[in-house]
Structure 1
Amino acid sequence: MSTPPVRRPDARARLRTLTNDITTLILDRGLLPGDPMPTEQELMAELGVGRNSLREAVKVLQALGIVDTRHGFGMFVAKENLNALQESLAFRGQLSLRHHGHEANELVDVRQALETGLIGLAIQSVTKEHLQALEQVVTEMEAHAERDETFVEQDKAFHRILFEPLENQLLTNLLGVFWDVYRTIYDAVDTDTEITQPAKTAQDHRDILDAVRSRDVGTARSLISEHFNGIRALLAKRASE
């Protein structure tokens, strides 16, 4: 049985150089997310490479969320997309659960740092409309909790709306990535409602909303920080097992 050829270091270097050349071309031409890129033939001629090399480089850039290819339409500069980051972090977090959960705990640390660090700015800019939207989400959480049901979508919506006043799309997307990764880890650890405690979780969100409504930054920051104690306890329990 034959083994696949091992990629030589010089081949990897050429691929890295070619991907850099393509991203430099995008920047030099001032292309924006969603803009069409030169055709495959044009890129081959301009960069002096063959079709196979170009396609390999494009696959790498697709995986990184830089280039988007659409069959029958061509290549485009990818719109803002953090899917690759999300998939990588989710994989690392779940993989770590098979060992000591170190990476999973690090991911929780990052999400906690982002939310506690930015809640003050969010409170400064929160509007009546945001508060109304948060109230509706928390009310839905409480209704689910009364039926001893979890409320994944409402939880995600709460944290998204909470930081919408900052009007930072990259931040919104990044927080969404960390929320999805966090949720993946949480579900992998335990989904038993006796452990996840929907009623307590709903109350935690109600308390955070009350602090935001009162523009009490200190209390809001403390409550959000404590909000992560549950997942840390679950990870510690998983590690001990």
Structure 2
Amino acid sequence: MSPVVRESTSRSELVGKMLAFFKERGYESGERLPSERALAERFGVGRNALREALSTLSALRVIESRPNSGIYLRRMSTDSSFETIVLLTEMGSEPSMKEVKETLEVRWALEIRGVQLACERRTEADLDSLASVIDATRAVLSNKGNIAAQDTAFHMALARCAHNEMLVRLLNSFYRISESRRFALFADSGRGTISAAQHESLYEAVKKRDVKKATALMETHFASAVESWSEILGEEAPVETKPARKKK
């Protein structure tokens, strides 16, 4: 007997379930996936809903349809969209240590450039937003709470100071990926106190439009974050926060 068709399943929900299914079953790149009929029965959805989800997965470069052959999994580590990792994370699949390390490397470059642009482009309204987050952070710390949400809010407010929508969208995705692990990161109130103090220094530098100081502060701030992440991951520091000196 075929399963009951649940047309109420949203496309994003179905896409997330399919990604999790591919990962759990251990499909390899280039491997042929089950037919549309089999997938529709597996997830209890109609063919139209399934085809919409497959279209999304194709756009994310997770799968490819080969005429008169079937549906095949692409090399997700290099071919798939970054949004694929975000979708998997939001479905409850934690990113691997390698993925966390690599996102830190990319985030470092974005955060540095972001704070430089923030110094040049910030408005008074932007400063008010940063100050509001700082006040909220102080309130949470005074009650010995976890500032994971406030830490994210500060970095996103700082990114918006740059007035570059692409930068904001990219950093938002990075923070969505690390959301659960960030809560564990700030379970230690000492880390929260240090991070909050560094945020206040960054705010002052951006307020004064001091690009040089803001850049140095962000390098220090990110180096502290890397050290903390290393403790959480249980491995050596995953990224270099400063370029290596060239040998003379």
Q: Which runs of 5 or more residues in structure 1 are unaligned?
A: 1-5, 16-50, 67-81
User: If the length of structure 2 is used for normalisation, what is the TM-score?
Assistant: 0.58
User: Match for residue 87 of structure 2?
Assistant: 87
CA shift in 2, pair 1:215/1:180, >3 Å: same
Distance in 2, Cα, partners of 1:168 & 1:85: 23
Counterpart of 1:70? none
Q: Which residue of 2 aligns with 1:31?
A: none
- The structure with the larger Rg is 1
Q: Cα deviations across residues 15-44 of structure 1 (Å, max 9, x unaligned)?
A: 9xxxxxxxxxxxxxxxxxxxxxxxxxxxxx
Deviates more, 1:85-94 or 1:177-186: 85-94
In the alignment, which residue of structure 2 is the partner of 1:233? 227
| Aligned-pair CA distance for 1:165 | 3.5
Cα gap change, 1:92/1:230 in structure 2, threshold over 3 Å: closer, same or farther?
farther
Counterpart of 1:202? 196
Please report how far the alpha carbon of residue 227 of structure 1 lies from its aligned counterpart in structure 2 after TM superposition: 1.9
Alignment match, 2:123:
127
User: Structure 1 length as normaliser, TM-score?
Assistant: 0.60
User: Pick from 209, 214, 218: which aligns with 2:212?
Assistant: 218
Cα distance in 1 for partners of 2:133, 2:159 equals 14
Matches within 5 A, 1:73-152: 84-88=84-88, 94-96=94-96, 101-152=97-148
Aligned residues: 179
Task: Give 1:41's aligned residue.
Answer: none
Please show how residues 24-63 of structure 1 align to structure 2 within 5 Å. 52=47, 56-63=50-57
Given the alignment of the two structures, is residue 159 of structure 1 paired with residue 178 of structure 2, yes or no?
A: no
Q: Is the 8 A contact 1:134 1:209 kept in 2?
A: yes
- Assess, with a 3 A threshold, how the Cα gap between structure 1 residues 130 and 11 changes in structure 2: closer, same or farther: same
Deviation at 1:85, TM superposition (A): 4.4
Q: What do residues 50-91 of structure 1 show as CA deviations (whole Å, max 9, x unaligned)?
A: x95x7544212334678xxxxxxxxxxxxxxx8644234678
Q: Distance in 1 between matches of 2:165 and 2:32?
A: 37
- Per the alignment, residue 184 of structure 1 pairs with 180
One-letter amino acid of the structure 2 residue matched with residue 143 of structure 1? A
Matched position secondary structure for 1:94: coil
Hey, what's the Cα distance between the residues in 1 that align with 2:31 and 2:182?
42
Provide, for residues 172-226 of structure 1, a one-character-per-residue CA deviation record: whole Å limited to 9, x for no partner.
Answer: 22211111223333335x45325x5222111111011011111111221222222
Shift, 1:127, TM fit? 0.7
| Consecutive unaligned residues in structure 2, runs of 5 or more | 1-26, 37-45, 61-81, 237-248
In 1, Cα distance between equivalents of 2:116 and 2:193: 26
